[in-house]
Chains A and B, each alone.
Chain A
Amino acid sequence: MKIVGKSVPKTDGLAIATGKPVYTEDLAPANALIVKILRSPHAFAKIKAIDKTKAEKLAGVECVLTYEDVPAVRFGTAGQTYPEPSPYDRLILEDIVRYVGDEVAIVAAVDEETALKAMKLIKVEYDVLEPVLDFEKAAGHPSVIHPEKDLHCNFDIGMQQDKNIACTHKVQVGDVKKELQNCHVVIEETSYIHAVSQAMMETFRAFSHYDHLGRLVVVSSTQIPFHVRRILARALQIPASKIRVIKPRIGGGFGGKQTAVVECFAALVTMKTGQPAKIVYDRKETFGCTNSRHAMRIKVRLGADKDGYIRVVDMEGLSDTGAYGEHAPTTFSVVGQKTLPLYSKTRAVRFEGNVVYTNKLPAGAFRGYGAPQGAFALENAVNKLADELAMDPCEIRAKNVIKEGEKSLVYITEGLVSSTLHKCMEKGKEMIGWDEKYPRRQEGNKVRAVGMAVAMQGSGIADIDTASATVRLNDNGDYSLFVGSADMGTGSDTILTQMAAEILQTPLENITVHAADTDISPFDPGSYASNTTYVTGMAVVKAAEDLKRRIIESAAGFLLVSPEEMEFTGDMVQMVDGKRKISLKEIAERLTIGVNPRQLVGNASHGIPISPPPFVAGFAEVEVDKETGKTDLIQYVAVVDCGKVINPNLARIQAEGGLAQGIGMALFEDVRYDARGKMKTNSFMQYKIPGRKDVGKIRVSFEESYEPTGPFGAKSIGEVVTNTPAPAIVHAVYNAMGVRVTDLPITPEKLVIRSL
């Protein structure tokens, strides 16, 4: 292959690196009204009265909207394919506020100063209610967070509104109780995964205006343009055909922008005033009023026979969805989906539990989407089991993890097609020097130790994810590639262009990629669930092949020969014996001028019945100061099986970045609240993402497999890399200090107190 598998630079790299105006805010019209949101100071309250008359009278204020001014139809903000499993439990504004920061009023003014002044003039009277802040006490709490009668679920997700249970989930195969009795060793470990914030550098932002057809145009930094269009149509009660959503360059998403957070506020202002409107969240709002990872408690019971084969994996979870249920059922089911198949020698498996509402920031999608929570709990338990059996943790995994061709009791029931996880583990062990370093070395007050974990993810959502792609041959012999996916900076536009270029045997520069604009792009659910390379990529491959076939047919028609005799060389279509040929440029010209033109377009859609898992083996080396409890990460080694690596540099960076986020989750990051439910960590002063000095040396290597259902053998990489750092670092710290910190983050305080 000439282009696939090569580390070509991102097609948009230079523009974004040199600060060109390519992001949402850069493109907003200068005359756009500035939209600001008045927010609840209470975690749970009923609004008794709002007086907005003074604010409305302020010069420069164009509109002030309260719950009385918005459509009375409940919707959800989760960017998911219709019918969304997430409940429709929101109104744009409501007379109940459910967390500190919940929206109370929308203000639009000619400038920011006026909008902020107007907000202070709105008088709100609240009836303050007792909030539900502890997710372990939410089910059956006297306060019912969603008492409304018009809450709607598209299908039964096990919601019990009166008990604050947003949904329930259960999957089980085999007789767990009986199989546990047959086991030689049974261990139990409960892990708590805290809420962490996506913390992408570009905060949430969107602007909107009416076009010449009276249609609503919404430009947004979003991962899900098509879902945003559908969500807006429902929330605003206008036909989707009257809405156009455009996604420019995005300054990071990590799942946060898989939720339609801000679009409806700007759009509603444009609808009410007829004017362009712009909303830009500051960092405080982005931390405190958007979404975060779901906090979970997961209890794992593992049973093993005396040879170390894991026979039972039994997991019970509780997830905190916060004030609203976007992504509640799906993140929770992913916990089971991405853990239960990993250890395949089981005779019984179970995952069950509830997702509960609380009066805190709504949880949403964040890289890994439940899998990091599941991997943390499961891998903590497997490391404990290895200790119990006095086995090397690498050895117990080598015995138990699923191999190519093997089946699992759940999810991978037809057999795993591609995996090099065993090779990944071997290579990772070598890279970190496991055999020399495990478990620890002590020098004075400092202990150095290693720990490890493995994990899997998926590639797209089986039976749901589809994508379409269009490739067009233009009049000059160059191509346009249209996709609806959203490049968040990872380089997916470039990778998709590489795939099309490979099929069309043309230089990268000859293809211009366009993504995404709901008026122009073919449908794509958006960029999440690690689906772009795998699902959209396959649609691109098929569309490019479709176009290639049409080019050959057209050339054969021009030369009056049969297509079977022709071959495509990228810039030429020629007879196999080379006798007659026609250049691509001439074909393009002939197809776009004259009497019988027929411009060629290759089209394809692609849907998937499976979600092939990528795998990763992660190894941490830490140094812990026994006196202070401070943990320094020395190095993190990850070996990844993402199938064929389409662009090694971009894959490596994506892996390094995902690992750094996992490291942050393990050691520093923590969304915290005060006793009244106000978020304490709504700035980078309080919420610590890793800086350059915190990540040690991150080293990534690949063990390619070949996934026949993926483009050129590729699987996904985006999410899987986030899953191992937390359990591997917990394991390394345990090996150093003898304390297993299963409630993140691993703070010095916890280590010192618990090691006493």
Chain B
Amino acid sequence: MQIEVILNGKEVVLDVKEDELLADTLRAHRLHSVRKGCNTTCCGLCTVWVDGRPVLSCATLSVRVQHKQITTMEGVSEDAEEFARILVSEGADQCGFCNPGFIMTVLAMKNELHNPTEEEIIHYLTGNLCRCTGYMGQLRAVKKYLGVA
């Protein structure tokens, strides 16, 4: 079936199967920043925004985003790059496979929380797993980015 969505600011019509998951639809649409890591809503790698809010695209049926605004990292490339530069300067990008989902959550957090405490930052980002960094470098980068160091 076909769904109409606003994908990264552009109106598009996507052909999807009834049981297709948004992560697969987006990857098939060559949005390679979308990654799948767990299939059980545990790792946060597949995080994209639906109407501006972070959701797990591996657990979202594509048919449910009909007429909604979908944003992947490709759609917020300037903001993503601004934070990515800080992350990379901390050395905290590492294997990078979790970075897009993590960064999409960080950008969403910036929109949602004002002057968050360290505890609030950690809480907001808890759903985003990383196996490389041990999280400390990511936290340093987030605090620098938000100016709450």
Q: Which residues of A contact B (CB under 8 A)?
A: 7, 9-10, 12-14, 16-21, 23, 26, 198-203, 249-252, 254, 282-284, 488-491, 647, 649-650, 652-653, 656-661, 683-685, 689, 691-693, 695, 697-698
A19 touches which of B42, B91, B94, B100 (Cβ 8 Å): B100
Q: Is the CB of A647 within 8 A of B91?
A: yes
Per the 8 Å Cβ criterion, residues 64-87 of B in contact with A are: 72-74, 77, 80-81, 84-85, 87
Q: Is the CB of A201 within 8 A of B134?
A: no
- Shortest CB–CB separation between residue A284 and chain B, in angstroms? 8
B93 / chain A contacts, CB cutoff of 8 Å: 10, 13, 16-17, 489
Q: Is the CB of B95 within 8 A of A652?
A: no
Q: Is the CB of A251 within 8 A of B95?
A: yes
B139 / chain A contacts, CB cutoff of 8 Å: 692
Beyond A17-B87, A491-B94, 11 additional pairs, beta carbon < 8 A: A12-B96, A13-B87, A13-B96, A14-B81, A14-B84, A17-B96, A17-B99, A18-B99, A649-B137, A692-B135, A697-B136
A692 / chain B contacts, CB cutoff of 8 Å: 122, 125-126, 128, 135, 139
Q: Is the CB of A683 within 8 A of B131?
A: no
Greatest chain A CB density within 10 A among B94, B96, B132, B133 is at B96
B42 / chain A contacts, CB cutoff of 8 Å: 683-685
Q: Is the CB of A19 within 8 A of B122?
A: no
Per the 8 Å Cβ criterion, residues 100-149 of B in contact with A are: 100, 103, 122-123, 125-126, 128-137, 139
Q: Is the CB of B95 within 8 A of A202?
A: yes
B5 / chain A contacts, CB cutoff of 8 Å: none
- Which stretch from B8-16, B33-41, B49-57 is at the chain A interface? B33-41
Q: Is the CB of A684 within 8 A of B43?
A: yes
B136 touches which of A9, A489, A490, A656 (Cβ 8 Å): A656
B97 / chain A contacts, CB cutoff of 8 Å: 16, 23, 200-202, 251-252, 489
Q: Does B88 contact A (CB under 8 A)?
A: yes
Q: Is the CB of A653 within 8 A of B94?
A: yes
- Shortest CB–CB separation between residue B12 and chain A, in angstroms? 19
B132 / chain A contacts, CB cutoff of 8 Å: 201, 252, 489-490, 653, 657
A-B contact pairs, 19 of them (CB 8 A): A7-B89, A9-B89, A17-B99, A21-B32, A201-B95, A201-B131, A201-B132, A202-B97, A250-B95, A489-B95, A649-B90, A652-B137, A653-B132, A657-B132, A657-B134, A661-B131, A689-B129, A691-B129, A692-B126
Q: Which residues of B contact A (CB under 8 A)?
A: 30, 32-35, 37-40, 42-43, 45, 72-74, 77, 80-81, 84-85, 87-100, 103, 122-123, 125-126, 128-137, 139
In the bound assembly, the distance between CA atoms of A693 and B125 in angstroms comes to: 10
- Shortest CB–CB separation between residue A149 and chain B, in angstroms? 41
B131 / chain A contacts, CB cutoff of 8 Å: 198-201, 252, 254, 657, 661, 689
A697 / chain B contacts, CB cutoff of 8 Å: 136
In the bound assembly, the distance between CA atoms of A19 and B87 in angstroms comes to: 13
Q: Is the CB of A20 within 8 A of B32?
A: yes
- Shortest CB–CB separation between residue B140 and chain A, in angstroms? 10
Q: Of all chain B residues, which has the CB nearest A9?
A: B88
Main secondary structure on chain B at its contact with chain A?
Answer: loop
In the bound assembly, the distance between CA atoms of A14 and B90 in angstroms comes to: 12
A13 / chain B contacts, CB cutoff of 8 Å: 84, 87-88, 93, 96
- Shortest CB–CB separation between residue A546 and chain B, in angstroms? 30
Q: Is the CB of A14 within 8 A of B134?
A: no
The answer to whether residues A656 and B134 also contact, given A23-B97, A283-B39 and a CB cut-off of 8 A, is yes
A649 / chain B contacts, CB cutoff of 8 Å: 89-91, 137
The answer to whether residues A201 and B98 also contact, given A684-B38, A684-B43 and a CB cut-off of 8 A, is yes
A698 touches which of B34, B80, B90, B134 (Cβ 8 Å): B134
B30 / chain A contacts, CB cutoff of 8 Å: 21
In the bound assembly, the distance between CA atoms of A448 and B129 in angstroms comes to: 27
In the bound assembly, the distance between CA atoms of A744 and B39 in angstroms comes to: 27
A9 / chain B contacts, CB cutoff of 8 Å: 88-89, 91
7 closest cross-chain pairs (CB), A and B: A19-B33, A489-B95, A16-B96, A251-B97, A649-B91, A660-B134, A656-B134
A14 / chain B contacts, CB cutoff of 8 Å: 81, 84-85, 88
- Shortest CB–CB separation between residue A489 and chain B, in angstroms? 3
Q: Of all chain A residues, which has the CB nearest B128?
A: A692
Q: Is the CB of A18 within 8 A of B77?
A: yes
A201 / chain B contacts, CB cutoff of 8 Å: 35, 37, 43, 45, 95, 97-98, 129-132
In the bound assembly, the distance between CA atoms of A647 and B134 in angstroms comes to: 18
- Shortest CB–CB separation between residue A26 and chain B, in angstroms? 5
In the bound assembly, the distance between CA atoms of A13 and B96 in angstroms comes to: 8
A491 / chain B contacts, CB cutoff of 8 Å: 91, 94
The answer to whether residues A653 and B43 also contact, given A9-B89, A491-B91 and a CB cut-off of 8 A, is no
Q: Is the CB of B43 within 8 A of A695?
A: no
- Shortest CB–CB separation between residue B130 and chain A, in angstroms? 7
In the bound assembly, the distance between CA atoms of A653 and B134 in angstroms comes to: 7
- Shortest CB–CB separation between residue B149 and chain A, in angstroms? 15
In the bound assembly, the distance between CA atoms of A9 and B87 in angstroms comes to: 9
- Shortest CB–CB separation between residue A278 and chain B, in angstroms? 13
In the bound assembly, the distance between CA atoms of A18 and B88 in angstroms comes to: 10
A203 / chain B contacts, CB cutoff of 8 Å: 37
The answer to whether residues A18 and B81 also contact, given A13-B93, A201-B95, A692-B126 and a CB cut-off of 8 A, is yes
Q: Of all chain B residues, which has the CB nearest A662?
A: B134
Q: Is the CB of B91 within 8 A of A684?
A: no
- Shortest CB–CB separation between residue A670 and chain B, in angstroms? 16
In the bound assembly, the distance between CA atoms of A199 and B129 in angstroms comes to: 11
- Shortest CB–CB separation between residue A365 and chain B, in angstroms? 15
The answer to whether residues A488 and B91 also contact, given A653-B134, A659-B134 and a CB cut-off of 8 A, is no
The answer to whether residues A488 and B32 also contact, given A201-B43, A684-B129, A692-B126 and a CB cut-off of 8 A, is no
The answer to whether residues A251 and B136 also contact, given A17-B87, A18-B77 and a CB cut-off of 8 A, is no
B43 / chain A contacts, CB cutoff of 8 Å: 201, 684
